[in-house]
Structure 1
Amino acid sequence: MEVMKILTNTADLDNMFYSNNSYRAWIGLSGGNWKWSLSDPSFYKPGEMEFRRWGTGRPTVGHSGKICTGMLSNGLWYDNSCDNIHYPICADVRGSDVTFVIVTQALTWTAAQSYCRANHTDLASVRNMAENQKVKAMLSGGGLYWFGLFRDSWKWSDGSTSSFSFWKNGQPDNNGNEACVASDFSQSGAWEDWSCDMERAFICYGPVVSASKKVLKVKFEKNNLDLNDPAVMEAMLNELKQKLRAQGLDDNIKLSWRKQADGKVFHKEDKKTNKRRRKREEL
């Protein structure tokens, strides 16, 4: 939440709104999209990869890990933890012919996928209403049966494993293929899932670079230039920067003049005052 507060405080809301008509910006979280275990696109006609037959209130929002799908005997689909144990529905695919097989050994979804791939073609893809009805007619009892639809877990683009989440209420809602995440800075940066094809502002980050500051006194002798002239001060800064670079200092080093109370940087030295100061130091 400390990071979210920093992002919210630094977000340029006016610029974000006028350039995107939105107070939202992409962050590095993505995934969460539904996929079929049998991923060959030639197996699906247009629209068949998107066919769904969800039960009431499904899929459940707010899951952060990988979620898998099963069918009840009424033909409706329910999302569930992939670690739960259910009977698998495998498919044998031969050209355009598909045969569904109910396995009577209860397995986790991942184990069911491995079993179907070893003994059949894959976990079943239910591509349309006709196939849904065909599978439904094979089921009995009140249990759940695994088939091939699953949802990726959300992942950070830099590979970090942070489990922190800040989803807006009702998000992620998995409305279509919403596999990328944006922060809504009109609501403290709360997260929403969106289609990755949307154009939005975005937030980058880089390594924290430690910085140090040093104050140096500069003394010029017998100089007829007006040292408080802005052009003269700028020229002197450029020359000093070149000398520091020649000594191997970072190119990103920044130099500036410190103004005194009267607004001036340089003051003519009073030699009498300096003599009295040196005498006091000797005493």
Structure 2
Amino acid sequence: MDKLLLSIVVVSGLCAVSSPAERLYHVVYDLKTMTEAQRHCRDKYRDLASIRDMEDVNTLNTAVDLSLMVDSRAWIGLKSDVDSWRWSLSNTSFYKPGEMEFRRWESGQPNNYVTEELCTVMYRDGNWHDYPCETTFYPVCFDVRGPNETFVLINNLMTWTEAQNYCREHHTDLASVRNMEENQKVQNLMNSRDFVWIGLFRDGWKWSDGSDSSFRNWKTNPNGLSEVCAAADFSANGQWENLNCNVMKAFICYIDVVPVSKQVMKVRLQKSSSSLDLNDPVVMEDLLKKLKQRLKDQGLNDDIKLSWKKQLDGKVFHKEEKKTKKKETCAKKDEL
């Protein structure tokens, strides 16, 4: 058989034929504990719902039928280890090895007094205390602009959450204190103030499916050492509460679905040999491999699937008539 040497003259309509996975949520109205709900979701779907942004929150608000719920709350896939601390700035590329673990707690701190001390202040002596997040203190923000990092004291009293929002809007974030040198810089800004907010907060909240989404939609800051599971309250626009994991609630599962799109493309080919039969199954299979490689070279992924569409006569390829040449010949006859 002639060697396959096929040059693609025109490939029209080339486009992406695959798209990112879509998330489908399933509301289950049966009452289960958090552990039972997680087991059910992993058996029937993928896992308990992880929620990535306000678009997901709005999707769930639309999907839930409150008339089918015993109360308005349903488990989502968020659970806490109350001994875990993290910085407000979650971009780990900002920190060198070991810097995220720097702490300068006062002796006996953190003690999570009355289970409500989830945020961190620096005292005027440079030591840290855990403190209720709803208390108002002056915050210290910081700006990161290339290699330059600057701490900024804000002369307005704010709760920790208000301080975080302010710093993110007007600077980079609430201050991350990565070493003793930076601890001293923040302390030098305090003047006569007893306490200032820094960006460390108690947040061991982890998603059941291992997602690293830092999105949070709390109704109030979570507290309580025995209430370490999260539920969305759909009488409060899907905002979250922390509850005892053993209470019985409805729950939300999810699956990822990859949508399938189909497109017909017109392909014009030029043969290297007049004896080559483009409708030969072996030739067509080899052509598919070449076309798939061409699509991959244009940036499409390996999920693409190609097949030939047969015409009414059962063939895929048909020879094009050279109509323009025929018109030229007729014109010359008229001149004679």
TM-score range relative to shorter protein:
0.3 to 0.5
Flag the structure with larger Rg. 1
Structure having the larger proportion of residues in strand: 2
Given the two structures, how large is their TM-score scaled by the length of structure 2?
0.38
Q: With structure 1 as the length reference, what TM-score do the two structures score?
A: 0.44
- RCO comparison, higher one (Cα < 8 Å, 6+): 2
